[in-house]
């Protein structure tokens, strides 16, 4: 790398999201077939690390993924353009006239294709990181506009924290932690310590919404997609049954699944549920986390030797 190119890069810790409530309306032709949503997003403390480093002018981008559970991304070496972080880089370059001469390194900890918005948060981290790396000083409205074409969860991931979402997920109203609505979520046991039961296999968001159109919403559940996700992935249903048996707090499928979330305010509930999930092989991986996490990702400067 030429000395003219700074070795200084940017690193961000990018949180996963869960939906504390997910109401799904009909698909709309004028929204490209996307469904109307009424949801409460919460960022959770499972963090992908995204690092961005400038490359020699004219040399293009590089993508490097690390992690033990890369899902279908493990085969993506051949086509890095399919990676949402790369799509975000190219969209930012196009919108601002910069060359996409950037090395992206992602340390993946968020389960892939799991309903936890791992791809969207990597893309949001890439956008916020480039805003700093390229000294763009784009505001929230500019970033939202660039993000609009890239995925329904991306606008929330740019803002983080706790937020009401409507439209197809892109219309956000942040929830103040002291508001009555946030207090109701706490009283309902929907904030704090949780366990995520994750799987090696994935559910495609498009496949779940298509099946939802035939199956319909789940009366009584916090997540309208739950019945559909469990029909496509029966181990998620078993994991939810075991959460009830363990006496855990509210338990639900995360987004379009297949991951399940169980609130565990008490340590003994967590211990019982971990034992039951393992004994009955109801999940492949158990991750402990907290929700909601601090709003906004903070780009940190890092120097690569
Ligand atoms: P959502 O909750 O937003 O529906 P999800 O958690 O179900 O998303 P992701 O983990 O975002 O799903 O992955 C969905 C698909 O996106 C995967 O099949 C994967 O190949 C692709 N993808 C592209 N880039 C990434 C990335 N950086 N991280 C994870 N998945 C990615």
Interface confidence (ipTM) of the complex: 0.92
Whether residue 59 lies inside any domain: the answer is yes
Residue owning the nearest CA to atom 8 of ligand 1: 117
Read off the tokens for 42.
Answer: 């919460």
Same domain, 230 and 102: no
pLDDT score of 3 more than 70 = no
Do residues 54 and 102 touch, judged by C-beta distance below 8 A?
yes
Q: Print the domain residue range for 226.
A: 190-291
Same domain, 279 and 159: no
Read off the tokens for 303.
Answer: 């120097």
Give CA–CA dist 289/48, Å, rounded: 13
Give CA–CA dist 51/60, Å, rounded: 16
Residue owning the nearest CA to atom 24 of ligand 1: 83
Give residue 69 CA to ligand 1 midpoint distance, Å. 12
Whether residue 42 lies inside any domain: the answer is yes
Q: Is 17 a catalytic residue?
A: yes
pLDDT on residue 291: 94
Measure CA 68 to chain center. Answer: 18
For ligand 1, is residue 113 a contact (CB within 6 Å)?
A: yes
pLDDT on residue 218: 84
**Region 100-117 average pLDDT:** 96
Q: For position 241, which CATH number holds?
A: 3.30.70.890
Mean pLDDT computed over every residue of the chain? 92
Residue 114 is assigned to a ligand binding site: yes
Same domain, 227 and 163: no
pLDDT on residue 77: 59
Whether residue 107 lies inside any domain: the answer is yes
For ligand 1, is residue 46 a contact (CB within 6 Å)?
A: no
**Region 268-272 average pLDDT:** 96
Enclosing H/E stretch for 54: strand 34-54
Domain C-terminal end among 175, 208, 238: 175
Q: For position 131, which CATH number holds?
A: 3.30.230.10
pLDDT on residue 7: 65
Q: Is 227 a catalytic residue?
A: no
Give residue 281 CA to ligand 1 midpoint distance, Å. 24
Do residues 295 and 161 touch, judged by C-beta distance below 8 A?
yes
Read off the tokens for 7.
Answer: 């070795």
Number of domains in the chain: 2
For ligand 1, is residue 198 a contact (CB within 6 Å)?
A: no
5-50 tens-digit pLDDT:
356 899 999 999 999 999 999 889 998 888 999 999 999 999 999 9
Residue 272 is assigned to a ligand binding site: no
Do residues 50 and 250 touch, judged by C-beta distance below 8 A?
no
Confidence tier at 304 by pLDDT (50, 70, 90): low
Residues near 83 by Cβ (< 8 Å), separated by ≥ 6?
A: 63, 65, 73, 76, 119, 122
Whether residue 92 lies inside any domain: the answer is yes
For ligand 1, is residue 258 a contact (CB within 6 Å)?
A: no
Could you give the residue ranges of the DSSP H alpha helices within 134-233?
A: 140-147, 154-159, 180-187, 205-215, 226-232
Give residue 79 CA to ligand 1 midpoint distance, Å. 15
Residue in 112, 205, 206, 261 to alter for ligand 1 test, most ligand atoms within 8 A of Cβ: 112
Same domain, 12 and 155: yes
Confidence tier at 151 by pLDDT (50, 70, 90): confident
pLDDT on residue 301: 79
DSSP, residue by residue, 59-110: S--EEEEE-S--GGGGGGGG-GGGSHHHHHHHHHHHHHT----EEEEEE--S
Q: What is the pTM of this model?
A: 0.93
210-236 tens-digit pLDDT:
999 999 998 899 999 999 999 999 999
- The angle at the Cα of 62, spanning 61 to 63, to the nearest 5 degrees, equals 125
SS3 (DSSP) at 36: strand
Same domain, 30 and 157: yes
Residue owning the nearest CA to atom 15 of ligand 1: 113
Give CA–CA dist 305/296, Å, rounded: 28
Same domain, 150 and 18: yes
For ligand 1, is residue 121 a contact (CB within 6 Å)?
A: no
Confidence tier at 78 by pLDDT (50, 70, 90): low
Q: Which residue, 142, 118, 113, 119, is CA-closest to 130?
A: 142
Q: Measure Cα distances from 175 to 8, 106, 118 in Å.
A: 35, 29, 22
305: buried, middle or exposed (CB in 10 Å: 19+, 13-18, 0-12)? exposed
279-293 tens-digit pLDDT:
999 999 999 999 998
Residue 205 is assigned to a ligand binding site: no
For ligand 1, is residue 72 a contact (CB within 6 Å)?
A: yes
Give CA–CA dist 105/49, Å, rounded: 8
């Amino acid at each position: 790398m030429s000395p003219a190119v700074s070795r200084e890069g940017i690193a961000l810790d990018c949180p996963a999201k869960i939906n504390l409530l997910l109401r799904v309306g009909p698909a709309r032709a004028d929204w490209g077939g996307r469904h109307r949503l009424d949801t409460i997003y919460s960022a959770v403390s499972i963090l992908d690390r995204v690092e961005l480093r400038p490359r020699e002018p004219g040399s293009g981008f590089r993508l490097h993924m690390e992690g033990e559970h890369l899902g279908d991304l493990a085969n993506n070496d051949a086509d890095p353009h399919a990676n949402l972080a790369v799509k975000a880089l190219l969209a930012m370059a196009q919108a601002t006239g910069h060359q996409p001469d950037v090395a992206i390194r992602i340390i993946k900890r968020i389960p892939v294709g799991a309903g936890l918005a791992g791809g969207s948060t990597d893309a949001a981290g890439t956008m916020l990181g480039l805003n700093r790396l390229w000294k763009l000083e784009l505001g929230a409205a500019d970033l939202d506009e660039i993000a609009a074409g890239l995925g329904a969860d991306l606008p929330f991931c740019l803002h983080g924290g706790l937020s009401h979402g409507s439209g197809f997920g892109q219309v956000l109203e942040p929830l103040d932690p002291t508001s009555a609505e946030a207090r109701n979520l706490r009283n309902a046991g929907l904030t704090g310590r949780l366990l995520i039961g994750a799987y090696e296999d994935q559910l495609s968001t498009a496949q779940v919404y298509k099946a939802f159109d035939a199956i319909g919403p789940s009366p009584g559940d916090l997540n309208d997609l739950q019945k559909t996700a469990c029909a496509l992935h029966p181990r998620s249903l078993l994991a939810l049954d075991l959460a009830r048996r363990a006496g855990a707090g509210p338990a639900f499928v995360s987004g379009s699944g297949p991951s399940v979330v169980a609130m565990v305010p008490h340590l003994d509930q967590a211990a019982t549920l971990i034992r039951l999930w393992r004994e009955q092989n109801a999940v492949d991986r158990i991750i402990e986390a907290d929700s909601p996490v601090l709003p906004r990702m903070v780009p940190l400067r890092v120097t690569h030797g």
